[in-house]
Amino acid sequence: MKSFWKYVLATVVGMIIVSVIFLFTTVSTIIGLAGAQSTKTSVEKNSVLVINLSGSIEERTEDNPLATLLSGSIAETQSLSNILKAIEHAKDDDNIKGIYIEAGTLVGAAPATLQEIRRALVDFKKSKKFIISYGDMYTQGAYYLCSVSDSLIVNPQGIIDWHGLSMQTRFYKDLLDKVGVSMQVFKVGTYKSAVEPFLLNEMSSANREQLTLVSSELWQTITKDVSKSRGISVERLNQLADTFMAFTQPENYIKEKLADRMAYSDAVPQTICNMIEGVDSQEDYHTISVSDLASISSSKPKGTSGNVIALYYAFGDIVQESSQSIPGYNSEHEIIGKTTVKELQELCDNDDVKAVVIRVNSGGGSAYASEQIWHAIHQLKAKKPVVVSMGDYAASGGYYISCAADWIVAQPTTITGSIGIFGLFPEADELMNKKLGIHVSTVKTNAHSDLGQSMARAFTADEAAIVQNYVDNGYQLFTERCATSRNKPIGDILKIAEGRIWTGQHALTLGLVDQLGTINDAIGVAKKRAGIDEYSIKEYPAETSFLDDLLNDSKGGSYADAQLKATLGEYYEMFSQMRSLTNHTGIQARLPYSISFNF
């Protein structure tokens, strides 16, 4: 028996030692990965900025070397902020001779993000430096960017996907009927279509009307941009889209001027050499990545005036409390009401900050949180200029918070408006009582003590009237906020509200935005309104380090989400919407649950 316990003890000790060694090795590896940041401090002579168009693009991203280590198959998520910084730096740095764009499978980027990058590339060409692009496969979004190139090269067996634009909404009514769940809906606005997926099996006529107009306006902007760069008429571009160019023979891309020539990837280095004076071989020039150049740009001194223009990023769902604490739910990005209000107050009190540019990219969310953020921005602009730069979406709650600014800059392809709110409450009487055999008995002191406390029964007529009245009041407040902030009669706002979405181009004519342009245009407005000549840009909220995220349990779902996204592909969006359903109940100011761009 003593020998037995001796061996057991030895085994346990051995396991502990191995575990400690494994833990030490893992932590050392993680620290090494986290510390493996770019060591570049300057740009070498005869450099070329390389932009790889693959994966997805978001407003800002944080480095996660652990995720890369665990699964290199996950498509890279790139930072719009870094891409813009790199292009701007490349324009002014004499050591950078041009840009090489490697087209790939660019997914999930909405038109306004791509237009922001495209305008930066067009501005870059003012430097008389070259842009070359090559692709085995140009998705339509990637082609939209690459169409600015001086030389657009396609593989002899490659594809240029040019097919037009479509917008899709998924509907879940039949699914909910099958499981015995129905949605109790309270809304204001004929066009407030966010609730439709739970009530219908296809678009309402009002929703189809607005999406038809929006998709048409977006496509007009895209075709005009490509027409100007490639010298192809808009009419011909539409004719080519109708033939679905992805399935044509590659030589037709040259014939139709969509591309300049066909070549394999090994021809690219010599093409670059030919564009740089005094460079004869690949060894004579250097390449630099977006992240490296953005890092160099960020590390450069930004002036000595002490004046700061704060660039505050507000993107994702608008929520009052972080959803990270909700079991089974993880949202990659959120605009958390309490946190945002606190951070805006800090910018208000910071005397070095002379103006604030708020970058809004949100389809909305909590009506209550939107009102709190609106109030914080309203207080902020009483002390210093506030300019909003709209991204892909600044709609519903996203417009609610935007309208409080002194000035609003949108892209022509921004989705905005959607001034309306709704309440969504699930009722599962059939599922619980009939299918699962779960029954609920209630004791209450007053008529509505259990209002909204149980999904096991539907609202009574009196309860429904109470909720609808609350929604009506919320809509009245929303429209009043818009009217006051935009200095318009309430009647004018009511005519263009009703939950209807608009493109940025259309919103300009309606007076919902003040100017069409980029983030840099918004910064220029802020500078002018602040009355300053010299300034530095400082981004907020401050990005957390990888190690901070690793030690923060609230970030734990991000890697799992990345795995799900890679595995489910186009079905991830539907999965994410259904998973977040319980988190989005209550009074909401948000876009339709799913507007999916086939771009």
pLDDT tens-digit map of 335-373:
999 999 999 999 999 999 999 999 999 999 999 999 999
| Contact (Cβ atoms closer than 8 angstroms) between residue 135 and residue 154 | yes
- The pLDDT tens digits of the residues spanning 409-462 come to 999 999 999 999 988 888 988 888 888 888 888 899 998 888 878 888 889 999
Q: Which residue has the higher pLDDT, 594 or 544?
A: 544
Interstrand relation of 536-540 and 308-315 (parallel, antiparallel or unpaired): parallel
Closest CA relative to residue 387, chosen from 351, 360, 415: 360
Residues 596, 599: Cα–Cα separation, whole Å: 9
| Contact (Cβ atoms closer than 8 angstroms) between residue 358 and residue 335 | no
* 296: phi then psi, degrees, rounded to nearest 5: -65, -45
The answer, yes or no, to whether residue 554 has pLDDT greater than 50, is no
Residues 557, 331: Cα–Cα separation, whole Å: 8
Extract the tokens encoding 71.
Answer: 């699964």
Backbone Cα Rg of the chain: 27
What's residue 268's pLDDT? Answer: 96
Closest CA relative to residue 160, chosen from 52, 233, 262, 232: 262
What's residue 580's pLDDT? Answer: 52
Closest CA relative to residue 396, chosen from 145, 144, 587: 587
Half-sphere exposure of 426 (CA within 13 A, CB side): 20
* DSSP 8-state assignment for residue 358: E
Residue 141: its H or E element = helix 140-146
**Residue 490 to residues 34, 487, 496, Cα–Cα distance (Å):** 53, 9, 10
Residue/partner pairs of 71-75 with CB below 8 Å, 24 or more apart:
71/562, 71/563, 71/566, 73/566, 74/562, 74/563, 74/565, 74/566, 75/105, 75/107, 75/565, 75/566
- The pLDDT tens digits of the residues spanning 96-136 come to 999 999 998 888 789 999 999 999 999 999 999 999 999 99
pTM above 0.75, yes or no: yes
What's residue 324's pLDDT? Answer: 59
What's residue 14's pLDDT? Answer: 57
Residues 89, 83: Cα–Cα separation, whole Å: 10
What's residue 189's pLDDT? Answer: 81
- The pLDDT tens digits of the residues spanning 569-589 come to 555 555 555 555 545 555 777
**In the structure, what pLDDT confidence band is assigned to residue 170 with cuts at 50, 70 and 90?**
confident
- The pLDDT tens digits of the residues spanning 514-553 come to 999 999 999 999 999 999 999 999 999 987 655 555 545 4
**Residue 316 to residues 60, 323, 397, 430, Cα–Cα distance (Å):** 11, 12, 11, 34
Amino acid, single-letter form, for residue 407? W
* DSSP 8-state assignment for residue 134: E
Highest-confidence segment of 166-175, 382-391, 557-566: 382-391
Q: Which residue has the tokens 């380090």?
A: 545
Extract the tokens encoding 361.
Answer: 């990219």
**Residue 19 to residues 12, 24, 26, Cα–Cα distance (Å):** 10, 8, 10
**Residue 454 to residues 123, 184, 195, 424, 439, Cα–Cα distance (Å):** 57, 13, 20, 14, 11
- The pLDDT tens digits of the residues spanning 243-254 come to 999 999 999 999
Average pLDDT value for the chain: 85
Closest CA relative to residue 217, chosen from 497, 508, 499: 508
Instruction: Please state the rounded mean pLDDT for residues 319-332.
Output: 61
Residues 451, 427: Cα–Cα separation, whole Å: 12
* 578: phi then psi, degrees, rounded to nearest 5: -70, -35
Please tell me whether residue 571 adopts helix, strand or coil conformation.
Answer: helix
